[in-house]
Amino acid sequence: MGLHIKNMIKSFGSNIAVNDISFSMEKPGVFGLIGTNGAGKTTCIRTILGIMSADSGKAEWNEKKISRENLSFGYMPEERGIYMKTKVLEQLVYFGTLRGMSKTDAKKSALDYMERLGVSEYRDVPAEKLSKGNQQKVQLITTLIHNPELIFLDEPFSGLDPVNTNTLNNLIHELVLEKRFVVMSSHQMSTVEEYCEDILMLHKGKSVLQGNLKEIKKGYGHTNLIISCEQDIALYANEAGLELISRRADESEYRITGDEMAQSFLKKLINEGIFPIKYIVKEPSLNEIFIQKVGE
Amino acid sequence: MNDLNQIKTVFGYTFRDAVRKKAFIISTIIIFILILVLTMIPRIINTFEDDNTDNYVGYTCYYIDEKELISGAKETLASSLPGIVIEEGSADKISEYNNLLQENKNLALITITEKDGLPFITITTGDFMSSVPSEMISETLTKVYVTNTLNKLGYNETAIETAQIELPYTMTFTGGMNFSGYTVGILLTMLIFFAIYYYGYGVSMSVATEKTSRVMETLVVSAKPSRILIGKCLGMGAVGLLQFSGIIAFSAICIKALIPEDFLIMGMPISFSAFTIKSALLVLLYFILGYSLYSVMNSVCGASVSKIEDLNSAMMPVMLISLISFYFGYVAAVSGSDGLLTKIAMLLPFSSPFIMPFKLLNGSVATVDIILSIVLLIIFIIIFAYISIRIYSASVLNYGKKQKLWALYKTKL
């Protein structure tokens, strides 16, 4: 059951865009496909969905080959594309009927999603008159209108303001609750960290890291210390050999070699009469792991 | 969803989208107005040809016939042209009259002199734009002179009237080519070229717009590129067919309602005898097949560009093929020859949609030629559709470096 990708390869001439990618998604949730621009995320998705033919490898959904003909999947491309001169509802019904829905069902579903995403007032307005955020919501509805079980979202949050990000957040959570399988491609690590239990990190078409995000992080151990004090502790941190990662308005984050280093630093601060307001020892962020893996 | 339903859905959307476009509505209205105006011209000409001399009210003609070469002419002119004042003039005042003519456009001078033993009529006006009825004046004066002469020779009135009768005439043709068929054939050839070019461009533009606006990314998830291409070409073709049929039907109505049955052009009646149901259906078939051939080629042009501004240069090869084929077909058609070049133009799938409608309306085309040209057209459409679908499928999602057509054709789909 679920989504299974085995040894997928796709090349364009001598350029191998997707190089022997394998992964599985056996239960509903959000799977993160991460990588830099040009890492091969979009080609990987297109090849999985059969929009592009793979040189070799298999992409199966519930043990059946994935194709437009035998699976009604949803795909929101990174590059948004809707008919600018056409009224919103009309084009949503068109995309719905193209997905095999009757006009009545497509209209009903379109209106339902428009209501959920707060764009129902634009049903008879040409898309060109909508803001970019609302156009993106329309694009998302074209992806979900036929209520697919398997959904691919390519950079769904790019270009959204905080309000629209929150709306999309809620919708993704709803999709997960509805037991949908969502594959989300992104290079915004914080987004992936928020949603994804499992990830695949692509670099130049190859998988450089994959698995359960918690397990991956656990494997790195405690490498970061976030600390916030009323006094300036920079001198003490320097003496203790802590490497500053970032200094924010009310806290600082340091790289540590392990729990012992964090504990001895805390003792030192207490001995000096400094009591931290915040003291968090944690694994590295996905962003740090990402930079470490693909940043060379 | 099966292939046919998806093609139908794309077809329906493309059709609705195209017929709602301002370009379609405005071009249809303009063409209909043009047809209406053109078919009204014969009636307008007939109206102006009415001998209504009241149109010349306010005109004054000085009449000088010092030697009385045409006796009684002044009175006859006055009665034949009641709107015009005929005044007896004097040869001594000719220069004075000429000055007056330059100042007043409603003045004319009729002078009768002798030349080679016959009266010679000179009608002088201020400039060539004067609308004085010179033909009517000369006809009236000629009739008076002939009547006077025959009277002198002793002929009676009946004989004189008979001698001056103009017999009505018309021209008919034993061959298939007549003036109406020739004119309509040329117009049809041009109309078919325009429609094929315009709607082929529409396909190209529609594909390019969907690709460059990235709508294609959403579309190809739902339907195979081949289905999108077929649906799109059929949709635009149906719009073209609708407009083309509308033009033909409206023209037929206007011709029937507005052109007088006895109207002659250069002595020839207007006849649409060649426009039978069979020839009309064949003309429509050639339009559909011609459009199909060029539209699949144009769709590749649309799919090959990443920016809409590159479309015109991408379309250049197909545009050149269509232009050369049109002129080849057109020249072969109007030449009236049945030589080798005409035969090639009739059979070559690129030019046959332009020449065959003309040939069908102008003379007998051998059935074998019709069948052969249609079969060749269908074979070419199948071959080009196959190649176009492969290239289109490979290029619709290719946004980077422009690839060669051969490389696109060889791409694994």
User: Can you state the percent helix, strand and coil of chain A, rounding each to 5?
Assistant: 40, 30, 35
Residue of chain B minimizing CA distance to A56:
B412
Whether residue B158 sits in one domain with residue B183: no
Whether residue B334 sits in one domain with residue B392: yes
Q: Which of A217, A239, A261 is the last residue of a domain?
A: A217
Whether residue A192 sits in one domain with residue A59: yes
Q: What is the per-residue pLDDT for B389?
A: 84
Residue B356 lies in a domain: yes
Whether residue A177 sits in one domain with residue A227: no
Strand locations in B239-366 (E):
264-265, 268-269
Of B10, B215, B220, the CB nearest to A82: B215
Q: Give the ipTM of the model, two decimals please.
A: 0.77
**Domain enclosing residue A51, as ranges:** 3-217
Cα Rg, chain A, nearest whole Å:
23
Residue B105 lies in a domain: yes
Q: What is the per-residue pLDDT for A162?
A: 87
A238: domain CATH number? Answer: 3.30.70.340
Whether residue B361 sits in one domain with residue B228: yes
With an 8 Å Cβ cutoff, are A81 and B217 in contact? yes
- Least-confidence region, from A100-104, A196-200, B133-137, B244-248: B133-137
CA distance B213 to B209: 6
CA distance B307 to A259: 56
CA distance, residue B354 to nearest chain A CA (Å): 35
Whether residue A183 sits in one domain with residue A42: yes
Q: Which is more confidently placed, B275 or A3?
A: A3
CA distance A5 to B342: 60
String of DSSP letters for A19-50: EEEEEEE-SSEEEEEEE-TTSSHHHHHHHHHT
Whether residue A159 sits in one domain with residue A226: no
CA distance, residue A55 to nearest chain B CA (Å): 8
For residue B1, which residues of chain A lie inside 8 Å, CB to CB? Answer: 98-100
Whether residue B296 sits in one domain with residue B396: yes
Q: Which is more confidently placed, A13 or A205?
A: A205
* Phi, then psi, of A150 in degrees rounded to 5: -110, 125
Residue B204 lies in a domain: yes
With an 8 Å Cβ cutoff, are A81 and B218 in contact? yes
With an 8 Å Cβ cutoff, are B1 and A99 in contact? yes
For residue A46, which residues of chain B lie inside 8 Å, CB to CB? Answer: 397
Residue B169 lies in a domain: no
With an 8 Å Cβ cutoff, are B219 and A73 in contact? no
Residue B267 lies in a domain: yes
| Residue in B221, B227, B399 to test binding to A, most A beta-carbons within 10 Å | B221
For residue B214, which residues of chain A lie inside 8 Å, CB to CB? Answer: 77, 79-81
A19: domain CATH number? Answer: 3.40.50.300
Q: What is the per-residue pLDDT for B270?
A: 67
With an 8 Å Cβ cutoff, are B214 and A79 in contact? yes
Could you give the C-alpha distances from A245 to A18, A76, A293, B200, B410, in angstroms and in order?
33, 35, 17, 60, 51
Whether residue B181 sits in one domain with residue B155: no
Cα angle for residues B12, B16, B21 (degrees, 5° grid):
150
CA distance B229 to B11: 9
Of A46, A68, A142, the CB nearest to B223: A68
Whether residue A185 sits in one domain with residue A92: yes
Count of structural domains within chain A: 2
Whether residue B229 sits in one domain with residue B89: no
Whether residue B85 sits in one domain with residue B220: no
Q: Per the confidence metrics, is the pTM higher than 0.80?
A: no
Whether residue A205 sits in one domain with residue A137: yes
* Helix residue ranges per DSSP H, A82-179: 88-98, 103-117, 132-144, 162-177
Q: Which of A217, A248, A266 is the last residue of a domain?
A: A217
Whether residue A204 sits in one domain with residue A69: yes
Map tokens 């191998």 to a residue. Answer: A16
Whether residue A245 sits in one domain with residue A150: no
Whether residue B83 sits in one domain with residue B11: no
Whether residue A42 sits in one domain with residue A23: yes
Q: Which of B163, B184, B208 is the last residue of a domain?
A: B163
Of A51, A80, A98, the CB nearest to B9: A98
Whether residue A134 sits in one domain with residue A12: yes
What's at B267, amino acid-wise? G
Whether residue B280 sits in one domain with residue B154: no
Residue B150 lies in a domain: yes
**Chain A residues with CB-CB distance to B under 8 A?**
46, 49, 51-53, 55, 68, 73, 75, 77, 79-84, 86, 94-95, 97-100, 139, 142
> A291: pLDDT confidence band, cut at 50, 70 and 90?
confident
> A182: pLDDT confidence band, cut at 50, 70 and 90?
very high
CA distance B174 to B103: 54
Q: What is the per-residue pLDDT for A183?
A: 94
Whether residue B180 sits in one domain with residue B155: no
Count of structural domains within chain B: 2
Whether residue B8 sits in one domain with residue B86: no
> Can you give the pLDDT of all 413 residues of chain B as single tens digits?
577 888 999 999 999 999 998 888 998 999 999 999 988 887 777 776 655 555 667 788 899 988 888 988 888 888 888 878 888 888 888 888 888 888 887 888 999 998 888 999 998 888 776 767 788 888 889 999 999 999 988 888 888 888 888 887 766 666 555 667 788 888 888 989 988 888 888 888 888 888 888 888 888 888 888 888 889 889 988 998 898 889 888 988 888 888 777 676 666 666 666 677 888 889 889 999 999 899 889 888 888 887 888 888 889 999 999 999 999 999 988 887 778 899 999 999 999 999 998 888 887 688 999 999 999 999 999 998 888 888 887 777 666 666 676 766 666 65
Whether residue B206 sits in one domain with residue B104: no
| Residue in B209, B222, B408 to test binding to A, most A beta-carbons within 10 Å | B222
With an 8 Å Cβ cutoff, are A98 and B223 in contact? yes
Q: Number of A to B CB contacts under 8 A, please give it.
A: 56
Burial of residue A161, with CB atoms counted within 10 A of its CB: 0-12 exposed, 13-18 middle, 19 or more buried: exposed
Whether residue A93 sits in one domain with residue A35: yes
CA distance A105 to A135: 22
Could you tell me how far CA B142 lies from the centroid of its own chain? 39
| Residue in B215, B396, B399 to test binding to A, most A beta-carbons within 10 Å | B215
* Phi, then psi, of A200 in degrees rounded to 5: -135, 125
Q: Which of A217, A247, A265 is the last residue of a domain?
A: A217
Share of chain A above pLDDT 90, in %: 53
For residue A83, which residues of chain B lie inside 8 Å, CB to CB? Answer: 17, 213, 215
pLDDT for A46-70, tens place per residue? 899 888 888 999 999 988 899 877 7
* Phi, then psi, of B116 in degrees rounded to 5: 50, 35
Whether residue A156 sits in one domain with residue A141: yes
Of B1, B13, B397, the CB nearest to A94: B13
B110: domain CATH number? Answer: 3.40.190.10
pLDDT for A224-255, tens place per residue? 999 999 888 888 998 888 999 888 888 999 99
Of A52, A55, A83, the CB nearest to B215: A83
**Domain enclosing residue B186, as ranges:** 3-40+176-410
